[in-house]
Copies of this chain bind each other. A is one copy, B any other.
Amino acid sequence: MVKRYLQVMPLDEVFSLLSHEFPCIPSTETIPLEAATGRITAGPIFGTYSVPEIHLAAMDGIAVASADTRGASEQHPVTLDRAARVNTGNVVPPGFDAVIMIEDVWEADGKYIIRKSAGPWQHVRPAGEDLAESEMVMPSRHRIRPYETGALATYGIIELGVITVRIGLVPTGSELVAAGTRPAPGQVVESNTVMAKAMLEAAGARCTRYPFVEDRPEKICDAIAAACRDNDMVIVSAGSSAGTKDYTADVIAGLGKVLVHGIATKPGKPAIIGKVDKKPVFGLPGYPLSAITVIRELVLPFLRNYGLFVPEPQVIRAVVTSALPKEIGSDEFVQCTLGKVGDRWTISPQSKGAGVQMSAVRANAYIKVPRDSEGFNAGDMVDARLLVPWQEAEHALLITGSHDPVLDHLADLLRPGGVSLVSTHVGSMGGIIALKKNECHAAPMHLLSPDGTYNTGDIRKYLPKTEVDLICIAGRQQGIVSRDGLALRDLRGRMFINRQKGSGTRMLLDYELKKAGIDPSSIPGYEREVTTHIAVALAVKSGEADAGMCVYSAAKALGLPFVPVAQERYELAIRREHRKDPRISMLIEAVRSTAFGEILKRLGGYDTTETGAQRSAE
């Protein structure tokens, strides 16, 4: 029998077990005041002197004896025999008990004249007004806000004790190389402890990244034992699964005890929780999205037990645009893109591949599909958990349809204006459907009709009653990418890499093959599908395929020969009802900008004659 997981444990049981097994006492460290923002006090802080220690003027003006001012009025101004010019913060000289604002004072013959009497202690800051000696400034476990550093400085607190959790991060794996080194085949850049450090330190933990440990149990054992000595908690990256080189669980068992192997989450299942020297030791799965999930859903919430502050994500109710089927038994976490189309928040799941870190970069929200749920249907209302501030999600511009690298450049042009362009790659037909369901702001497309026109035919067919405008991004060259300059006519018998059905490129290919009288079945690999231009070019570059069809910019980016097949009209379809949305205006402005024109020229393969042109799809 091949080695298998222990029974997986649901998250709520994991948290009960953690609370039961570990007392969770934080460490304390003394830090200078300048580093105090966001940190949490370890004990109460008391003032050691009063502020102010003596009566001070609270206004710019003159210090007076209030008795001298009696009876002053507009009708009966009083000229003062004694008074002292004081500025805000000056000591009120002995004999005086009030301050009159400079705005209420007139001067004549070197004396002050007033037209209003002053009450005793008027505009005087009495000693101890702000803080009295021995008073408590802040209790324990108070999270210091940036502006409070000023108060602490005033009260003489220049260093303070704050809580932390010392966490040792142990990266394991013989395949690891440090970030900055280009990995050879089979090597992997160690990124999980880089990420864990950033996520955990944002919550106030203090992390130490240990050197890479090769996949040998005795080395891993030494590393974990050393990390346990110097920290309150240890996280071992990778080796937590059940592969032939997954030693983490056995090593933890040897040093102490494995409490849990396998948690009921997806991604994140292969996590380990152990106990060594009474300290928690977590085994983190190697896949980046699994590691993110385990840190976000397990380790960070657990840090709350130590008194650290870990905010709950903000939640927005949104309509999910595609089905999320799921088997009962695990909490499932799905990276998504969220935005507000009209008055309605919509959320689209991203690729589920646990190795696709870009899906976490592109995501601005995620969905938790609960353990006892069978998932969601398209159109269900779900809780969207935000990964960006609410304001940023509200300004997201949802672009759903056919992908082109220029969309990323439009995103780059729009961001300084406060708009986050979020693109979901579902091909031109996917874009039409999103437009029909009103689940995106704009759908980029290049759909060839049998009559040789682009886009209007399918829009009229699928959205017959909806007013839709088309903004031309560019005339775009599609062609054959290869390592040796193949053309369309050379494809027979060569290994091909195709785009997915429904994509404009696939339709164009089929149209051109038919025109040229080439039978798809004569092309090996015709059925192998990828979803972006650059993936086609990459398959060709890596030797996996001999040819594919893509846009010029993708071939150029990878330095591959490109033989043009056709020029197509790549347009943005926009419902007219959204035309007044400022995000849409900014998008159109960006398409029409000089900067964008220059980008198109630099990338190559785009005809800018029609760029920015608008037409109705009716």
Contact = CB atoms under 8 A, between A and B. Distances in A.
Residue in A37, A150, A389 whose Cβ sees the most chain B Cβ within 10 Å: A150
A138 B7 CA distance: 39
Interface in A181-199: 181-183, 185-186, 188-192, 194-195, 197-199
Query: Which one of A85, A309, A412, A421 has the greatest number of beta carbons of chain B within 10 Å?
Result: A412
Given A179-B158, A538-B127, A147 B360 contact: yes
Interface centre among A127, A139, A190, A416, by most chain B C-beta atoms within 10 angstroms, is A139
A111 interface: no
A528 B135 CA distance: 22
Contacts of A134: 405, 534, 557-558
A276 B179 CA distance: 44
A120 B36 CA distance: 55
Contacts of A194: 33-34, 149-150, 153
A146 interface: yes
A128 B557 CA distance: 13
Nearest to A144: B198
Contacts of A85: 244
A409 B312 contact: no
Nearest to A136: B408
A328 interface: no
A462 interface: no
A532 B356 CA distance: 60
Contacts of A244: 60, 85, 87
Given A103-B4, A534-B128, A544-B55, A153 B190 contact: yes
Interface of A: 1-4, 33-34, 36-38, 44, 48-56, 58, 60, 85, 87-91, 102-103, 105-107, 120-121, 125-143, 145-154, 156-158, 175, 179-183, 185-186, 188-192, 194-195, 197-199, 201-202, 241-246, 286-288, 291-292, 295-296, 307, 309, 311-312, 353-358, 360-361, 387-389, 391-392, 405, 408-409, 411-412, 414-416, 421, 528, 530, 532, 534-535, 537-539, 542, 544, 557-558
